[in-house]
Amino acid sequence: MWRLARDSGALDLNTSYAYLLFARDFARTCRVAVADGAVVGFVLGYRRPDEPETLFVWQVAVDPSQRGRQVAGRLLADVAAGARFVEASITADNTASQRLFARFAAERGAPLERAELFAESDFPDAGHATEGLVRIGPLETADH
């Protein structure tokens, strides 16, 4: 996951330790896609502690050689199964990611709302773009 994030050209690279902690403690809300024994995609998320029906998707990346083949769409569908709401943090200029979540919502007939998650001025390090929040739901689950 760390290697894919590093090579994605679009994601903030967290420490390798952060990806290992997610793999250990949030494995149920994370997925990797494997092709020929190599990890070619991942989605990293968690259920929000104060709102457990909501899955927050922190990062998603697919190896450039595998893009456009619904790898991200399938990872997202699998990890979001059972969640009533899905949230994701996306910068406005990230067309592929915006489309990924728009399609996920449209396929389920679920509303998609946009808001600001963190403003540029919230980040202590310079040059970080505003993070938009996409919130999708309510989604149909087995209980609803």
67 binds ligand COA (CB under 6 A): yes
Q: How far is the CB of 80 from ligand COA (least distance, A)?
A: 13
Question: By C-beta, is 61 or 139 nearer to ligand COA?
Answer: 61
Tokens, residue 25: 């403690």
Question: By C-beta, is 19 or 143 nearer to ligand COA?
Answer: 19
Tokens, residue 30: 């994370």
Which residues on adjacent β-strands are paired with residue 46? 56
Residue 141: Cβ within 10 Å count: 13
Pick from 27, 36, 50, 68: which binds ligand COA (CB under 6 A)? 68
1 binds ligand COA (CB under 6 A): no
**Sign of the alpha-carbon dihedral angle for 7, 22, 143, 136:** negative
Tokens, residue 42: 């991942």
Report strand pairing: 112-118 vs 38-48: unpaired
Compute the distance between CA of residue 30 and CA of residue 33 in angstroms, rounded to an integer: 10
Q: How far is the CB of 53 from ligand COA (least distance, A)?
A: 21
The count of chain residues that interact with ligand COA, using the rule CB under 6 A, is: 22
Q: Which of 17, 87, 10 is nearest to 52 (CA)?
A: 87
**Interface positions, 90-119, toward ligand COA (CB under 6 A):** 90, 94-97, 99-100, 103
132 binds ligand COA (CB under 6 A): no
Q: Which residues bind ligand COA (CB under 6 A)?
A: 8, 10-11, 59-62, 67-73, 90, 94-97, 99-100, 103
